[in-house]
Structure 1
Amino acid sequence: MSPTTPHQPVLLRLLHSAIALLVFGSLLTGFMVYDRYDKRFGTLNLPIVPNTQGIHGTIALTFLILLPIFAVYCFHIGDRRLVQSQSMQQLGQQLTEVGKPIWWVSLQRLTNTFMLIAATLAVVTGRMMQEIWLPTGELNHIWYIGHLISWIIMAIGIALHLLMSTKVGGLPLLLSIYHWRIRESDLPKNWLKGFKIKPNSSIALIIEFVVIGGIALAFLLPLFVTA
């Protein structure tokens, strides 16, 4: 593990920090809502916080608004951190190749991509829920079940993301996203340098279509569908 902290673009640091705070806030308040109204899979019997649903909804809506900006950054500027056309081949190496640095890097990219898809599923299912369901004991709606599953997937994705980042770059890589060192390249005028119109591979294009399309549905579906 190198003692040198790698430099991350300031735009990535800003977006990643905001997204991380919103995700953890959504997970925490979402569990508080579950712990108050559902409890079927276990409970911590947390103290009741007034308007927990409203707090969760506000955090989730902010997350939905920021998510497309973060997704566009990931696919068109930070695409080297996502799955590549050769990633599956690298992961599918013979057993003797497993554990080499490029294998772990490919797994990290796959994990990062997986989290974007999980986030998309979370915002789509969350937007289709009705606030009245849980207080009235309507716990079996498909959108609510899907929302629970999506946040379980997201929690698993966070754990894998932290694990893979630790494996690839150790503590310096984990801390680099919160290191506020500024370079000339970090000035706002340089934020969009390196922006690519075309994704780096066909698989990236398909995943971007799923993610951006899913986010668009999260905005639009509630306007036309009565869940």
Structure 2
Amino acid sequence: MPRSKPYQPSLLRFLHGVNALIALLAIITAFWVYNTFDGRLIKLPLPEINDIIGIHGTFGVAFLLMMPAFALYSFHLGHKRLVQSDSLTKLTQIGKPIWWYSLHRIVNTVMLIAATWALITGRMMKEEWLPIGELDHIWYQLHLAGWVILVVCLIMHLLLSIKVGGLPLIVSMFEFNYRPEDSPATWLQQIRSFFSRS
């Protein structure tokens, strides 16, 4: 019997999609900034872009504006996709489906924390540091570490999504169709219903 096609709530798909796009652009431009002004560990022959720091900062500000809505959704309506009280104990069941689901939830949670870390440390940086070669500021080092953790989490998130749900799960996050009871017109009601039950 074929597995049923997964369905993702339309509000999750919207918030996830917008945040994923902005975060991906911020991640790419972050590497471009690193490659242009630092490049101590890896340097690629990328063309220089005027005001790449400003471009990265623009995506950072856009992410800062959109991330709180996604975080609120994730920790409330989407809390089952994050760490559960028994997630760590279920990690003892190595190789079983619950192990993969628990690991996926942990990675999702760490990814939200890493994104928040990257946003906070990015806001603490000054644009003039890198162009004048000041690479040893603690906020830059922390921002760089946040970027690395975010990239690792993103890769793990994609791989674990494929592992726990296969290609249908990935595709379901990019579908435009929605059920009548899950139309965008019901988003506010969904939020109200959740908080009235809490």
- Give the equivalent residue in structure 1 for 2:141: 145
More deviation, 33-42/153-162: 33-42
Q: Does 1:37 find its partner at 2:33? A: no
- Give the equivalent residue in structure 2 for 1:195: 194
- Closer, same or farther: CA 175–124 of 1 in aligned 2, 3 Å: same
Alpha-carbon distance in 1 for matches of 2:181, 2:106: 27
**Residue pairs, 1:75-224, within 5 angstroms:** 75-91=75-91, 93=92, 97-192=93-188, 193=190, 194-196=193-195
Alpha-carbon distance in 1 for matches of 2:196, 2:32: 41
- Give the equivalent residue in structure 2 for 1:225: none
- Amino acid in the other structure paired with 2:17: S
Q: Which runs of 5+ in 1 are unaligned?
A: 200-227
Alpha-carbon distance in 1 for matches of 2:101, 2:182: 25
Measure how far apart 1:198 and its partner are: 8.9
State the Cα deviation string for residues 14-58 of structure 1 (Å, max 9, x = none). 111111111110111111111111111120021011111111000
Give secondary structure in 2 for the equivalent of 1:24.
helix
- Give the equivalent residue in structure 2 for 1:213: none
Alpha-carbon distance in 1 for matches of 2:98, 2:133: 49
Alpha-carbon distance in 1 for matches of 2:119, 2:51: 20
Give secondary structure in 2 for the equivalent of 1:195.
helix
Alpha-carbon distance in 1 for matches of 2:126, 2:194: 38
Q: CA RMSD in A?
A: 1.6
Alpha-carbon distance in 2 for matches of 1:190, 1:86: 32
Alpha-carbon distance in 1 for matches of 2:22, 2:163: 25
- Give the equivalent residue in structure 2 for 1:58: 58
- Give the equivalent residue in structure 2 for 1:67: 67
Alpha-carbon distance in 2 for matches of 1:141, 1:5: 49
Between the two proteins, the alignment pairs up a number of residues equal to 194
Alpha-carbon distance in 1 for matches of 2:137, 2:123: 13
Alpha-carbon distance in 2 for matches of 1:197, 1:125: 35
Alpha-carbon distance in 2 for matches of 1:197, 1:136: 53
Q: Which runs of 5+ in 2 are unaligned?
A: none
Q: TM-score, normalised on structure 1?
A: 0.81
Q: TM-score, normalised on structure 2?
A: 0.93
- Percent of paired sites with the same residue: 49
- Amino acid in the other structure paired with 2:180: E
- Closer, same or farther: CA 7–81 of 1 in aligned 2, 3 Å: same
Measure how far apart 1:98 and its partner are: 1.4
- Give the equivalent residue in structure 2 for 1:10: 10
Measure how far apart 1:114 and its partner are: 0.7
